Chain A
Amino acid sequence: MQTHIKMHTKNLDFFYGDFQALDQVSIDFIENRVTALIGPSGCGKSTYLRCLNRMNDLIAGIRVKGLAMLDNDDIYDPSIDVVTLRRQVGMVFQKPNPFPKSVFENIAYGLKVNGMKDKAKITRIVEKSLKQAAIWDEVKDRLNESALGLSGGQQQRLCIARALAVAPEVLLMDEPASALDPIATQKIEELITELSSKLTIIIVTHNMQQAARISDRTAFFYMGKLIEVNDTDTLFTKPELKQTEDYITGRFG
């Protein structure tokens, strides 16, 4: 089967001031697949994720070297509009962070800031996004109520719906289930699997079972370096390096 590389980095270095947080990281992300980034805390996986939609730009004193590509565009090229990039590469955060607005307004926000004015179209996309995020049935009668009244798991699926509304091509997820209970986590995992038929997903997770369950490919980070990346099944059953094996079998980390 022909696979298309949706995003890739080549020899990506990242510095916070003098501290080098990423060292020569090269990964290919295949279109419409789920790639999991695993590794112990502080290994650079979240930093790497935030390089992919340039959220790190918000931090003062950072420096990026190397190549990060979305299709054929270098996302760190000066001609790239960061605002457009972030619409193409959406993000879901660790803690559910809905705006203190109604359920409807939360989803419509991304459409409005991107210039959509047609109310009927906005309503249609809000409904479609909520259905895609498998939360429509739970919120369809309370679209005008505050999103902050939803449970944690519902809020996180709302945030996923909000990210989907602007039709991103890639979705970055930074430990999206780590603040949720097991049932809410299961729903998010099912959702990720479903979404991956139409969307390239890159997910940071601390939970190795989760990585094994939901991802097609897994990348293992340690101390700012990419140690090993492979098909998830291969990486978990026949890791090439001892370091990877030690981590996934729980011998360190």
Chain B
Amino acid sequence: MIKQRLIVQKVCFSFLKIAALLNGAALAVILYFIISRGWRAISWEFLSQAPRDSMTAGGILPCIVGTMALCLVTIFVALPIGVASAIYLNEYASQGKLVRFIRLGINNLAGVPSIVFGLFGLAFFCIVLKMGVSAASGGLTLGIMTLPVIIGASEEALKSVPNTYREASLAMGASKWQTIRKVVLPVAFPGIITGSILGISRAAGETAPIMYTGAVFFTPDLPASILDEVMALPYHIYVLATAGTQIEATRHLQYGTALVLIVLVFGMNLSAIILRSKIRKNLRI
């Protein structure tokens, strides 16, 4: 009997272990695939020049700058609105009909396919608000798409702040806003920032929301303002791989671009982790 139980346990554990290992393996395979095919494309010229010869040579500087510009707009839009919404929902709002309605909206926003965000952005930001295809339109579209992630992460961070902190502060004659501003937010801040950056780095890799709203096939110029159209890394990969003049000949450029995108996203995630541990240390938790 005991033996049989042990065997069942072993089988189950092995299964769980394999499932967990598959995650790591998937990442390793993707990285190997992209690095092995893309690293030859990486050079100073690749990172510092615009594409040449119908995008079969030269670099991807406009794409790097474009993606960064989109991310910046996304941050400026989604971070304040997302964090403010989370504070309202978690700290101020009584759990009534309005809050349920807002939550329903947020949850549904998270379920909308990214191409629908792209079409909405085109119709609303580009056409109705007359911002055209621009970093602003693309960033706003990405921002709306990222909002549910930021709100979710921020609410989790606020929920993890022990209620005893709030009580202690209020019991000393602090107002609710003082309590949030001076006790709750500093403790929740690392979690908010990490979650938000993870959400934004996810947005950095999106293609569908920006292909109608912010990114263009080709522009050799770097954006001078946020109302300029931009090239973007994910869209550039898509263009080279499906619509270029010489799809096979530019394979190494496609993988090189993918590699740059991955490094960029990893860099953002890494900075989120470093920032979090730094703030935690300052907070003396």
Which A positions have Cβ atoms within 8 angstroms of B? 53, 55, 58, 60, 83-84, 86-87, 90-91, 93, 95, 97-102, 109-110, 112-114, 145-148, 159, 162-163, 165-166
Contact = CB atoms under 8 A, between A and B. Distances in A.
Nearest to B283: A100
Interface string B125-167: 0000000000000000000000000000000000000101111
Given A110-B174, A113-B169, 11 more contacts: A55-B167, A83-B173, A83-B174, A86-B172, A95-B164, A97-B165, A99-B165, A109-B183, A113-B178, A114-B173, A162-B168
Given A60-B94, A93-B164, A99-B168, A113 B173 contact: yes
A100 B285 contact: yes
Nearest to A84: B173
B168 A93 contact: yes
Contacts of B169: 99, 109, 113
Contacts, number: 80
A99 B184 CA distance: 10
A159 to B, nearest CB: 7
Contact of B174 (A100, A113, A165): A113
Interface size class of B (residues with CB under 8 A): 20 to 34
A93 B162 CA distance: 13
B1 interface: no
B171 interface: yes
Interface string B273-285: 0000000000111
B167 A97 contact: yes
Contacts of B285: 100, 146, 148
Interface in B213-228: none
B168 A159 contact: yes
Interface in B173-231: 173-175, 178, 182-183, 186-187
A100 B169 CA distance: 12
B95 interface: yes
Nearest to B178: A113
Given A83-B173, A100-B187, A166-B173, A146 B167 contact: no
B25 interface: no
B95 A166 contact: no
Contact of A55 (B95, B165, B170): B170
Contact of B164 (A97, A112, A162): A97
- Looking at B94, B95, B182, the one whose CB has the most chain A CB atoms below 10 A away is B182
A49 to B, nearest CB: 11
B22 to A, nearest CB: 38
Given A97-B162, A100-B187, A109-B182, A53 B283 contact: no
A53 B162 CA distance: 20
Contact of B171 (A55, A112, A114): A55
B183 A58 contact: no
Contact of B170 (A58, A148, A159): A58
Contacts of B171: 53, 55, 86, 90-91, 93, 163
B20 to A, nearest CB: 33
Contact of A87 (B173, B186, B187): B173
A203 to B, nearest CB: 15
Given A100-B285, A101-B284, A163 B165 contact: no
Contacts of A113: 169, 172-175, 178, 182
A91 B164 CA distance: 12
Contacts of B167: 55, 58, 91, 93, 97
Contacts of A86: 170-173
A93 B163 CA distance: 12
Nearest to B162: A97
Contacts of A55: 167, 170-171
Contacts of B95: 60
Nearest to A95: B164
A90 B186 CA distance: 24
B164 A163 contact: no
Nearest to B284: A146
Give the one of A87, A91, A110, A113 with max B CB within 10 A. A113
A100 to B, nearest CB: 5
- Most B-side CB within 10 Å, residue of A97, A102, A110: A97
B284 A110 contact: no
29 contacts: A53-B171, A55-B170, A58-B166, A58-B170, A60-B94, A60-B95, A84-B173, A87-B172, A87-B173, A90-B171, A91-B171, A93-B167, A95-B164, A97-B164, A97-B165, A99-B165, A99-B183, A100-B165, A100-B284, A100-B285, A109-B172, A109-B174, A110-B172, A113-B172, A145-B284, A147-B284, A163-B172, A166-B172, A166-B173
